[in-house]
Amino acid sequence: MSTHETGVGEHAYAKTLRWWDGFTISLSIPAALFIAMGYSMGAIGAWTAIVLAFAVALIACLQNFVYSEMAGMFGDKVGGISMYANQGWRSRTTLAGPVATFGYWFSWSSSLAIYGLQIGTLMQAQWFPDQTWTFSTGLATIGFPHVVALVVLLIGWSLNVLGMRPAMWLMYVTGILILIPIAVFAVAPFLSPDWSVANLQWTLSASGFPGWQTVIAWMFVMAWSVYGIEAVAAFVPEFRHTVRDSRIALRLAGFFVLAVYFLVPLGVGGLVPQKDIAANPVTFYLQAFNSIIPGSGWFMTICLIAGLMLMMIMTTAAGGRVLHGSAIEGLTIRQLGQLNRAKVPARAMSLDLVVNIILILFVGEAMAVIVAGIMGYLICHILSLSGFVNLRRDHPDAERPIKLGRQWVVVAGVLAAVDAVILIVGVFSAEITGYGSFKEVFIGILVLSLSVVLYFYRQLKQERRPIQWRQPGLPLGAIPNAPSRETPLVDALDAERE
């Protein structure tokens, strides 16, 4: 096999990415800040939202360090942290893998419709305010934003199925555009006479619920986007230098999101009063940007749209790889385990497309499934972090090209416990943030249950073998297919080929 491919036969991915490609992919997460952060700032005050966002970003950063060790161990595993959960739990229960992969996939997949509708709303507000026509599909009322969402959904899907390189070029462009408002809001507000500490408020008690419950409820929502910096792990098999690129990309993404989720809310929160943020939780950024650079609201709109487009491209790519990796490992139906001629999981990404078209046309308000998505996503993180602990306990002598200190076992255990608390409290506190109800919790349970049904179907019908409730543990001293430690000679050979 070529040194620039990974996997076996028709499952091989081209190894064309470098660490800066992984970092570009992670730029989509700060882009989500401009969509989600305004809601929390308007509801609980800028100071409260800043502290909580920084805390969630710190958790995400630490989690990425944990995942960097597992990325080194399982450099050929397609599917990122969901596959790490499978490897860490397979000797105890084989059901952890299907639950982790579907929880992860549904969280990313359902967000495509959300971001597409946000793009449509921004375009309508900025350039097409008169396009207020609507029609009904019988289950939902469709308007201009929905049509735009369908168009950008198809564009993102088309670029992804053509191969990773075409998608990466658009990611470069949109990544540069979203960096502009990030840089402006991180620095310029503090030089502006309009910035005032009086605009930064603590209004935690405004929800009417106990303060601790309100804190965790908003951390639950924030985790949905901020934790997403781990998406870099889904592309690890495509890095040219698996170990080095994985280490740099995952850790750099962690440090970057830590800085962005503190400086940007602090800068913009001091420019706009809380009541204005609450009234316009997304478009208030346009007002803030315009106060810094008069007449530039249209440019900020373009940057926001670019950031959302970056999110959609990354989400389609990552979600497709998770389903593909799940099929390769025998955790879901075999049909999703194929790559097309461009070496990308077109079938799995097409399933994402179909799911989101249904959400846009027949649900209308895609935010209705956000609680279900967050629930599955946090379960995946809990299984992945606890899987790290399991692997350290069961296989202390296994090869680890990226080796963390012993203290990280405790750190991973604490992070898993924190995520479990956020999950449990967040699920039962959706009314605080207004993002869902028990109906959405039921949807999440249904999706996770479907993952188990498909796993049983794969084993009983497609593989024609009894259900394996446990699989043998990994042999001591060697992780199957683990990448070897990279050397200067390997780097030199790769440089010569380039």
Please tell me the pTM assigned to this model.
0.89
- 201: tokens are 């408020």
CA–CA distance, 332 with 469 (Å, rounded to integer): 15
Identity at 116, one-letter amino acid code? G
At 74 the pLDDT is 92
d(CA 354, CA 349): 9
CA–CA distance, 17 with 13 (Å, rounded to integer): 11
In 112-254 the beta strands, taken as DSSP E runs, fall at 134-136, 141-143
Residue 201 lies inside a defined structural domain of this protein: yes
- Site of tokens 């040194």: 3
Which residues, in sequence order, are bridge partners of residue 14?
A: 5
Number of helices (H) and strands (E) in the chain: give both, helices first.
18, 4
| Strands 5-6, 13-14: pairing kind | antiparallel
pLDDT at 61: 95
Has residue 489 been placed in a domain? yes
Sign (positive or negative) of CA dihedral 362, 349, 21, 378:
positive
Query: Which two tokens mark 118?
Result: 């946000």
Amino acid in the structure at residue 391: L
> Running DSSP on this structure, what letter comes out for residue 244?
H
Cβ neighbors of 455 (< 8 A, separation 6 or more) are 94, 95, 97, 98, 331, 332
Contact 105, 322 (CB under 8 A): yes
- Give dist(CA 435, CA 74) in Å, integer: 36
Measure CA of the first residue to CA of the last residue in the chain; give whole Å: 17
Q: 144-161 and 96-126 are packed helices; what angle lies between their axes, rounded to 10 degrees? A: 130
Q: Which domain holds residue 263?
A: 20-104+167-307+367-466+479-493
Report yes or no: 480 and 474 within 8 Å, Cβ to Cβ. yes
Amino acid identity at 491: D
Instruction: Please check whether residue 333 lies inside any domain of the structure.
Output: no
Residue 335: other Cβ atoms inside 10 A? 12
Domain assignment present for residue 200? The answer is yes
Cα-Cα-Cα-Cα dihedral sign, residues 319, 153, 240, 328: positive
- List the one residue out of 338, 333, 296, 309 whose CA is nearest residue 321: 338
Alpha carbon distance 74, 80 (integer Å):
9
Helix (H) or strand (E) holding 51, with range, is: helix 46-73
Nearest to 86 by CA among 394, 445, 330, 287: 330
Decide if 360 is inside a domain: no
Please count the structural domains in the chain: 1
In a domain, 138, yes or no: no
pLDDT at position 282, please?
A: 78
H helical segments located in 162-236: 164-187, 211-226
Per-residue pLDDT of the chain (498 residues; tens, 9 = 90+): 333 444 444 457 778 889 999 898 888 888 788 877 888 898 899 999 999 999 999 999 999 999 999 999 998 888 899 999 999 999 999 999 999 999 999 888 888 888 888 899 889 988 998 988 988 888 778 899 999 999 999 998 998 888 877 888 888 898 899 899 899 988 988 888 888 888 888 888 777 789 899 999 999 999 988 998 999 999 999 999 999 999 999 999 999 999 999 999 999 888 888 888 888 887 788 888 888 888 888 898 898 899 888 888 888 888 889 999 999 999 999 999 888 888 888 898 998 888 888 888 876 566 657 788 889 999 999 999 999 999 999 999 899 999 999 999 999 999 999 999 999 999 888 888 877 666 777 777 888 899 999 999 999 999 999 988 988 766 443 444 444 444 443 344 344 334
Q: Return the closest-CA partner of residue 372 out of 423, 309, 414.
A: 423
Residue 211 belongs to domain with CATH number: 1.20.1740.10
Task: Enumerate residues 6+ apart whose C-beta is below 8 A from 337.
Answer: 11, 324, 327, 328
Task: Say if 178 falls within a structural domain.
Answer: yes
| Residue 359: DSSP 8-state | I
DSSP assignment string, 392-454: HHH-TTS--SS---THHHHHHHHHHHHHHHHHHHHHTTHHHHTS--HHHHHHHHHHHHHHHHH
